Each structure stands twice: as structure tokens, then as C-alpha cells.
Amino acid sequence: MERRTVRLLLLAGLLAGLVSSCRPSASVPAPEYRRVEARGAGSDCVWSLVVGTTAVWPATWVLCGEHVLANVAVTEEGIEGIAFDPAAQPLQQFSLPWARPPVVGEALQFMFQSNVLRVVRDGVVVHAVAFPSDRWTDDFWRLPVQADHQLRRQRLDAVLFADDFMHAEGSFGAWTRQGEWCIDATRNPLRDVNAFQLAATGEPALLTAGCWFWRDYGFRVAATCGPGSVLSLLAYRDEAGRSYELRVAQGEQEAVLTLLRHLPSGAHELATASRSPLLGWNHLGLRMHEGRIQAQINGQTLLVADDPTPLAFGGIGLEVSRLGSGRVVFDDVEVTSLRSPEDTPSETPLVELVEDTHDVFSSEESMTEWSGAQGDWQQVGRPEGDRVTYLHRADLWSDFRLLLKAGAETPVQGVRLYRDGDSLCTLASLDLVDSVWHLRQDETEVPLGATATTGLVCETRSGRLLVGTGQTVREVPLAGAAGCWRVGLVAVSPPRDWVSGVSLGAAKVHDYLFRRAPVDWLPVSGRWDVTYRWQCDPRWSFYTGRRLAGTAMNWFRLAHGRNVTLEFFAAPRMNRERGEDYGYAADLNATLGAQGYQLDQGCSFLYGGFHNQGSQIVAAGRVLAENRELRIPADKKATHRHWFRIKIRKQGDRVAWWIDERLAGEAVLPAGMDGDRLALWTWRNEMVVGRVRISSDSWTRVADRDEEAAVAAGVGAAYPVMVEEAAKR
């Protein structure tokens, strides 16, 4: 290593001489150099060279790779560079002139990342040169002895920033505030499903965060606003006023989106577009990568611009220019690095299904079933001695991964993998026998080599089942009934003793406790927000839809596949003005497979339908199935603290649903019912939703232009059944 370093330094001196000899001779002698002024780590950094009052040139930057050595000379005329191979043969030479000479006090910035040198002046990339590909390990600067230039080095690390505004009153965390803002917190945040949000209380208002050297990142935030409001996302923002801006002007008939580039000299419009007004909560996003700027609403790219002289880096900002007739509120800021303009996960991410969802809610007895990790595991069948089988509630229509973490003494003694279609069918069993995991399938039993101390992994990949440890994996052949996957565990103690040692992740599952802004939901009628369930105890607040004079309807913004399962915990909202008991409670409803945004174009499931006369499956203007016994209890003791678990499964053209584990009905859909929209709704009532989980074999983002049709459909929405059928009741 020492020999290599000496060789590189000698070669660097040779390169400096070669580069100097390439320049025109000057009337003054060559300056004497300091040996090493500053040292870096080769790549992924920004050097700032602040021009001194004694501006003696050149300043020399040497970059050392495993196979390439480069010398960059900075002069008053420009930049000259040369790259050599280990045999001192030139590989590349370049000359980059300045548009104007450097001035005293100016910071010239040199950014080297991914084999590309970028030169930055006044916050803008003025030159970019690709070097030969190499692994760069070292770099250093040599400055003339007479010069008083200053050098600063900043490493370029991955950008990662998030804020859900869970701050004390008057505290804004990492944000710098201009104008009037407030942390919009409820009276009792510990018992509110989403207690903290950021609200602008005056105009104009600006909030900024981040570091000057952030670059190549995606920035998104959840936002909601009223007509007449103008709000903006700022990226690559610096103190001189440079930035990229996504401006949203919300009107009564449309929302106008504008992408702008700001410089101290003024603003320049890069792109503009209009769309239907933003409804409810939406994700607004800006993505910047090497001069390509993309503006997004709910993950869909609506504006794209390529900046030939891009801004180099900068922080983020939230701005409200005009409040309009409603509030402007932000939540859930996220900033992450991008590797490319279209940087998206190569694989569908797995959603963790075994985790405590809300500490305070999970400690409340009436909510443990849906808010805590152990509530998802339900005992099935009879115990075999001290061994009890616990089945996870979730239907899994796509890939999943079950991990039993290593532990010398684990209460979990077995794994059961099922297909759930017409019935629960066991496809594979794994059991601990003398501390070694054995696979049983049909009549065969095979030891896997995995033990309690090494843990166990079971996962599916594109229809293949793999089991084993991290080092030894066995593929298990699959045959038998169709349906969704279900996961069961055999244990000698209840879930509270072992759930922390279990991880279950699943693809194409969406799970909502509404702790974050509900950006995936499109409320088109009624009022949907976080409010209290109980008038007698208004400290507890949940996501609620209400409308006493019609339909409160909330569509899911993603289109589901042919197979889908919706499960949600819901309850009627307490309303003493309508009665001391719950005689008014009715219609905790959902719709699957709708074509467009028409309830009567899908299959609807009515719990307490037709003024709580029972529970019905309704499609194509007909009641396909009905259970008159399953009604919402009017008795206050039975309903007041209870959360009703409603599970709906659509497998092809067959549908079934359960209420509190009890089968409520089954039906075969009429021909031609192949829609893909899903909604929660109630009729002349108030529905409180604790949790929603949706699993499907595919998901597609619904086009934003369809939201206008959703609003039109929601205005006149009524029961999804023919008038004649309703009149019979």
C-alpha cells in the first residue's frame, strides 16, 4: 500500500508538470506548491474552493483510482484536466473555459460522483465531464504557497429525511419558519389516530429544511387544501433564492400545476398542466436527478422538464402563497435519494403484518383485536395437548415471507401453510422435532437442517414455496386447491409470548390505521376525517365518514385484481341526538369490483342494510344473498365499545363475507361483473373505521382524470339496488 501511495504521488507530480507544460507560458515563474493542502476519499464529495484575495493559480486537484490517475488544474481562464493509466499513458484530456474569471470570495465547487466531474458556479452546473470508470480511493489538492484560497470538503451521502410533525406546540424541529404556521394537534394526541399535522395560518408562509449539498432526491408530502389556495413544494433551494418549484393552484373547476425554475434574476416556467381539483389528501412530489425534474400527484408523473444547466443541490421547502377558502395542511414529509430519474423498487415491497400498530390503542381492551400484533393471530381447531394452532387473519394473494427469528427456547413449535378457497387446505407443515425443523407434506417427512437456534424462513416467489434457513433453502412442490395463502403457527403459549419473534411480510397488501394522511383514499361524498367515536369519551379519535342526508362514500385510489380480500374494523358513531341506544345504527358497507365509480356497477356488502333489517350482498340491481339475523345490535351494551370485523373475499366470480368470524353470505356474481374499484360507504349514517387491510393479486394506480367522474357519481349516489327491490322492504 505504501509503495502504491508513493507511486501515485510521484505520478501526480508528473501529471502536474505535464498539465502545466500544456498551458501557454506565463511571464511569471511557476508558483511553489504546498505538498498536500487537503485530502479526501476519492469520490462522492463536493470540494468548495473559495477564491482568495491573493489569487495565485493554478490550484491542482489529484484524483487517485485503482487503475486511473487524474489531474485537474484550476486557473483563472478555466479548468484543464488529464487522466492517465498505470503506465502513465494518457487516457483523456479536457479543457473547460470559464464564462467569466473567478472573483475574490467566490466559491467554485467541484463535485465528483459516479465517475463524473461536475463544476458548479452560482449553484448551477456549468460543466460535466465523465471520467474513465474506476474505483476512486483517494484525492488531494495542491495550492500555491502564495495563494490564500480556502478549501472545504463535503461528503455526498444518501439523502434520508422524514417528518410527521409530531412536535410540541411552537416547535418545528429541523424546519426554519417564515410567516405564520402552527402544529395542528388535537386536545389529546395520545388517543388520536393521527394527532399532529402542519397548518399554514397566514399568507404568505414558508417553511424550509435540509442541507445545501442534498442532490438527486425525491421529495413528497401529503397535503390537503380548499378552493382558491396556492401551495408549493420547493427543491434544490438555497439561501440565494434558487430552487425548483411545483406550484398547485386549486380552483373550483380545476387545479393548475406549474413547474418553475427560480434564480436570483427571476423565475422561468418549465412546464404546466391542469387536472381536476384535488380531493381529500394527496401526495405531492418532486423528483430531481441530473437535470430531469418530475412533478407527481399521487405517484403519477404529470410534468417533466429537462434543465440543460441544472441546479446543483439544495434543501426543501413548503410554501403557501394563498390560503383560499379552506385550510392548507401538510403531513408526512419524505425525502429519499434517487439512483436514476425512474428509480423505483425492482421488486414489490413486502408489508410487515406482524407489528404493534399503535401503543395506546393496543393497550385498550376493546381495540386490541385490530391495533396490536397479537390480535391478528386467532386460535383454530382444538388444542393437541399443550400445542395450539393460531391462524393469521390475513388473506395473502401474492408473495409472502415468514421469518421465525432464532431463539434457543421458542414457544413456536410448528408452521402451517394453507390455501384458503372453498375450504382451508393444508399444503405444508413444519414442526420442531428434537429442536430440528422437519417438513411434512403428504406422507413424507424431511429434516431441513434448520434448528430453533438458527431460525426458519418460509417464503413464496412467483408461485414457488421455499423453506429453510438463510444458508440452506429447499423448494417445496405445490399442488392442490386454489385460493389465497394463509399462515398458521403452532405454539405452546399465547401470541403475546412469541409474536415479537415472528416476522410476516406480504406483497400487494395495503394496511391502514390512518396514522398517516389517507392519501390512497378518495372521499367523494359526505365528510371523511379524524374525529371522536364516543360523545361520552371524546378523547379517542378515529377515521370517520358521516352524512345523515345521503351517502358518505370513499373510494380506494388503486384498482384491484381479479382476486381481492378486504377486511376492516368498523363501528357506528355515538350520537345522543338520535337516541340513547344504537337503534339508529345501520349500513357499515363496502363495494368491490365496481366499474367506474358507480356503487350499482359493483358488488356491495351491506352490514345492517335497509335500515338494519339484516346483511345483504347486492349486485346488478338484485339481492344475491341475505342473512336477516346479522344485524347491528341496538343494545348499547353490545355495540358501544365493540368493533365489528368485516371480511370480504372475491375469488374470481365468487364472493363471500364474514362478520365477526361468522359467515354472512356467499354468492356467484352475474356475468360481466369484472370491475376493479373498491369503496367504503354508509347511508344516512356515521361509520367509524379503525383499520383497513386489502390484499389482491395485482394493483393498478387509477388515472387522476377519473376523479372528476367519481365526484359526479358521488353527488347523487343512492342504494345500489333497484327502486322496486327497495320498495319491498
Would you state the cell numbers that stand for residue 477, as one nine-digit string?
Answer: 412442490
pLDDT at 219 over 60: yes
pLDDT for 505-549, tens place per residue? 999 999 999 989 999 999 999 999 999 999 998 889 999 999 998
What is the rounded CA–CA span in Å between residue 605 and residue 665?
9
The percent of residues in the chain predicted with pLDDT above 90, rounded, is 65
pLDDT value of residue 305: 97
CB environment 649-684: b (16+ within 10 A), e (fewer):
bbbebebbbbbeeeebbebebeeebebbbbbbbbbe
Q: What is the mean pLDDT of the chain?
A: 88
Q: Model pTM? A: 0.89
Indicate the pairing of strand 484-491 with strand 509-512: unpaired
Q: Which residues, in sequence order, are bridge partners of residue 183?
A: 198
For 600-606, the CB contacts below 8 A with 24+ separation are: 600/720, 600/721, 601/675, 602/673, 602/675, 602/677, 602/679, 602/720, 603/650, 603/655, 603/667, 603/669, 603/673, 604/720, 605/646, 605/648, 605/655, 605/657, 605/664
What is the rounded CA–CA span in Å between residue 497 and residue 495?
5
Indicate the residue type of 562.
R
Count of beta carbons in the 10 Å neighbourhood of residue 571: 25
Q: Do 396 and 694 form a contact (C-beta atoms < 8 A)? A: no
Cβ neighbors of 21 (< 8 A, separation 6 or more) are none
pLDDT for 339-370, tens place per residue? 887 776 555 678 888 665 666 777 777 888 88
Count of beta carbons in the 10 Å neighbourhood of residue 105: 10
Cβ neighbors of 276 (< 8 A, separation 6 or more) are 254, 255, 704, 705, 707, 708, 711
pLDDT for 5-15, tens place per residue? 434 444 445 45
pLDDT value of residue 313: 96
Q: How many residues does the chain have?
A: 729
pLDDT for 41-51, tens place per residue? 778 899 999 99
Strand order from edge to edge, sheet including 484-491: 377-384, 387-392, 484-491, 412-420, 424-433, 436-441, 444-451
Count of beta carbons in the 10 Å neighbourhood of residue 178: 12
pLDDT for 580-597, tens place per residue? 899 999 999 999 999 888
What is the rounded CA–CA span in Å between residue 653 and residue 674?
8
Q: 362 vs 375, 380, 395, 556, 702, CA distance in Å?
A: 9, 22, 22, 26, 34
- Residue located via cell numbers 398517516: 516
Name the strand (E) or helix (H) holding 415. strand 412-420
- Span 129-143, average pLDDT: 92
3-state SS of 670-721 is CCCCCCCEEEEEEEEEEEEEEEEEEEECCEEECCHHHHHHHHHHHHCCCCCC
pLDDT for 452-502, tens place per residue? 677 889 999 877 888 887 667 888 877 766 789 999 999 999 998 999 899
What is the rounded CA–CA span in Å between residue 377 and residue 399?
19
Would you state the cell numbers that stand for residue 88, as one nine-digit string?
Answer: 502513465
Out of 117-131, 285-299, 422-436, 494-508, pick the least confident.
Answer: 422-436
Dihedral (CA of 622, 628, 634, 640) sign? negative
pLDDT value of residue 21: 38
Out of 1-5, 446-450, 526-530, pick the least confident.
Answer: 1-5
pLDDT at 162 over 50: yes
Q: 175 vs 333, 389, 463, CA distance in Å?
A: 11, 50, 47
- Residue located via cell numbers 380480500: 565
Out of 227-241, 494-508, 637-651, 699-713, pick the least confident.
Answer: 699-713
